[in-house]
Amino acid sequence: MSESSFDLQTWLQQHGVGAEQASGRLFCKWLPADQLERLQAEAEGLEALIPCAGALVVPRPLALGLAQGRALLVLDWLDLAGGDRDGWEGLGRGLAQLHRRSQELSAQPGLFGWHGDRWIGAGIQRGGWQRSWGTFFAQQRLADQFQRLEAHGVHFSQSERLLECLPQWLEQHQPDPCLVHGDLWPGNAGVLRDGRPCLYDPAVSYSDREVDLAMARMFGGLPEAFFEAYNDEWPLPAGAEQRLIAYNLFHLLNHANLFGGSYIDQSRRSVEALLRML
């Protein structure tokens, strides 16, 4: 779509964005029109995070809709930079504070989940509400991914055993529901040029807060200063290193469904490691 074929400022004004704001620097995210729901889920997640964000910068969804046969989400611009230790420490402290604050603001206290299915990248993240974290994670996260792989001919012989044992193991942990970013790999968090930490592109739910810390170790991982600062602000309980394997299995399975290849083997190894611990 060329600039000459689409007047973004006019479109923004038609969607309630003022002329002064529309003339500034903005971030525009395009997808095919039939994927508008993915952008709606992203906007909903950002709006959920903002009241809890505190010192963290979370971009506001400014306009969402269809434009010339495509889905369009317009957000505040984030002037990202590399970030120094102070910035990453700020992200760690800020995330811990966000997790705590979300418990106070929850409209569904004591419940894990989200109201309806949503997207995590191009994959589905199941919604619904459960009082049992172990049951929620086993059913709405892992079982759904195993079923999708089965439908594509990829069988995990030990998946049933894992799904039987995992809920009780996780229930021993007894976490409180926190609003989590949900897709916190290094590509979805950063530090702005002015030093403020930021989060974006979430897949939110009320979950064990450890799921954010677990994923932040994946795909290269966030700097260690982030984890140190989080733990100083709100220490993780014993057993977090073992639960990390379970929590990141969800992301490995999701990637196995989306991309196949080595993610299938990584998922199998994680299942085997978990069964040795249970």
Q: 3-state DSSP call for residue 61?
A: strand
The whole-number pLDDT of residue 5 equals 63
The C-alpha angle with vertex 262 and arms to 256 and 263, in degrees rounded to 5, equals: 30
Given this model, what pLDDT does residue 16 score? 76
Region 98-126 average pLDDT? 93
The pLDDT value given to residue 3: 47
Residues constituting the chain: 278
pLDDT for residue 22 is more than 70: no
Q: What is the DSSP letter of 50?
A: G
81 φ, ψ (degrees, to nearest 5): -135, 180
In sequence order, the 6+-apart residues with CB closer than 8 A to the CB of 211 are: 180, 182, 247, 250
Q: What is the pLDDT of residues 222-277, one digit of tens each?
A: 999 999 999 999 999 999 999 999 999 999 999 999 999 999 999 999 999 999 99
Architecture of domain 3-76: 2-Layer Sandwich (3.30)
pLDDT tens sequence across 203-213:
999 999 999 99
Average pLDDT over residues 95-101: 98
The yes-or-no verdict on residue 113 having pLDDT over 70 is yes
- pLDDT for the residue numbered 14: 79
Question: Where does the pLDDT of residue 193 fall: very low under 50, low under 70, confident under 90, or very high at 90 and above?
Answer: very high
Contact (Cβ atoms closer than 8 angstroms) between residue 17 and residue 74: yes
Residue 52 has pLDDT above 90, yes or no: yes
What's the CA gap between 135 and 207, in Å, rounded? 12
> Do the Cβ atoms of 138 and 159 come closer than 8 Å?
no
Which pLDDT score, from 0 to 100, does residue 1 have? 44
What local confidence, expressed as pLDDT, does residue 2 receive? Answer: 47
Give the model's pLDDT for residue 276. 95
Q: What is the pLDDT of residues 135-177, one digit of tens each?
A: 999 999 999 999 999 999 999 999 999 999 999 999 999 999 9
| Residue 189 predicted with pLDDT over 90 | yes
**CA 81 to each of CA 54, 94, 192, 211: distance values in angstroms, whole numbers, following the listed order:** 20, 18, 5, 26
Pairing state of beta strands 80-81 and 61-67?
Answer: unpaired
Nearest to 121 by CA among 36, 189, 32, 203: 203
Share the mean pLDDT of the chain. Answer: 93
Q: How many CB atoms lie within 10 A of CB 158?
A: 12
For 15-41, the DSSP string reads TT--HHHHTS-EEEEEEEGGGHHHHHH
Q: What share of the chain is helix, strand, coil (3-state, %, to 5)?
A: 50, 20, 30
Catalytic residue, from 34, 117, 176, 183: name it.
183
DSSP code of residue 182: S
Tokens of 153: 């001919």
Q: φ and ψ at 230, to 5 degrees?
A: -60, -45
**CATH code that applies to domain 80-277:** 3.90.1200.10
What local confidence, expressed as pLDDT, does residue 10 receive? 78
pLDDT at 187: 95
Locate the domains of the chain by residue range. 3-76, 80-277
According to the model, what pLDDT value does residue 74 have? 95
Q: What is the mean pLDDT of residues 2-19?
A: 71
Alpha-carbon radius of gyration of the chain = 19
pLDDT of residue 117: 94
Nearest 10 degrees: Cα torsion 57, 60, 66, 69: -20
> What pLDDT is recorded for position 209?
98
Is the model's pLDDT at 24 over the cut of 90?
no
Active site residue 84: no
Tokens of 29: 């995210």
Enter the DSSP assignment of 57.
B
**What is d(CA 243, CA 215) in angstroms, rounded to the nearest whole number?**
11
Q: Residue 170: exposed, middle, or buried by beta-carbon count in 10 A (0-12, 13-18, 19+)? A: buried
Q: What is the predicted pLDDT for the residue at 19?
A: 63
d(CA 207, CA 230): 17
